[in-house]
Amino acid sequence: MHELSIVMSIIDITEKESAKHNASQVDEIELEIGTLSGIEMPAFDFAWQQAVRSTLLENAKRTINEIPGEGLCMECDALFPMQQLYEPCPVCGHHFISIQKGKELRVKSLVIN
């Protein structure tokens, strides 16, 4: 359940940013989560519900931008969508892949009050 640690870190970042702006309420939070980031969404949702209680995020509207995985083949330079870390290059079959997208785990923006 590392998802709980992740949610705690998001709460932490939110509180610091809010304090900087003297905000007492967060209306919206926008997150970026890559499909190769290792986050299981059901576990994330569960952890979220538990952890945001009586925090600034309790009533915030949450938007998640899911970022699909993308790999770059180091053999043939093909750029291709990646669902799993173990996928070979669909063009040449090699496994030397550099992950370009999908590892994101970011707090993008907040709407504070």
Partner 1 sequence: MCATCGCDANASSSIRQIGEDHDHSHDHTHDHTHSHGHGHSHSKTIVEVEKDVLYENNLLAQRNRGYFDAKNILALNLVSSPGSGKTSLLERTLTDLKDQFTCYVIEGDQQTSRDADRIHATGTKVAQINTGKGCHLDAHMILHALQGMKPVENSILFIENVGNLVCPAMFDLGEKERVVIISVTEGDDKPIKYPDMFHTSTVCVINKTDLLPYVPFSMEKVKEYARQVNPDLQFIEVSCTSGEGLPQWYQWLKEKVLLPQSV
Q: Which residue of 23, 43, 72, 78 would you call a contact of Zn ion, by CB under 5 A?
A: 78
Q: Which residue of 38, 68, 81, 90 would you call a contact of partner 1, by CB under 8 A?
A: 38
**Does 8 sit near Zn ion (CB under 5 A)?**
no
**Does 92 sit near Zn ion (CB under 5 A)?**
yes
What are the structure tokens assigned to 30, written together? 């926008």
Where are the alpha helices (H) located in the chain, listed in sequence order?
2-20, 41-51
Size of the site for partner 1 (CB under 8 A): 38
Distances (CA, A) of 91 to 16, 58, 74, 81: 46, 47, 12, 12
Size of the site for Zn ion (CB under 5 A): 9
In the chain, the DSSP E strands lie at 26-34, 61-67, 69-73, 79-82, 97-101, 105-112
Minimum CB–partner distance for residue 29 and partner 1 (Å): 9
Which part of the chain contacts Zn ion (CB under 5 A), choosing from 16-24, 26-34, 59-67, 93-101?
Answer: 93-101
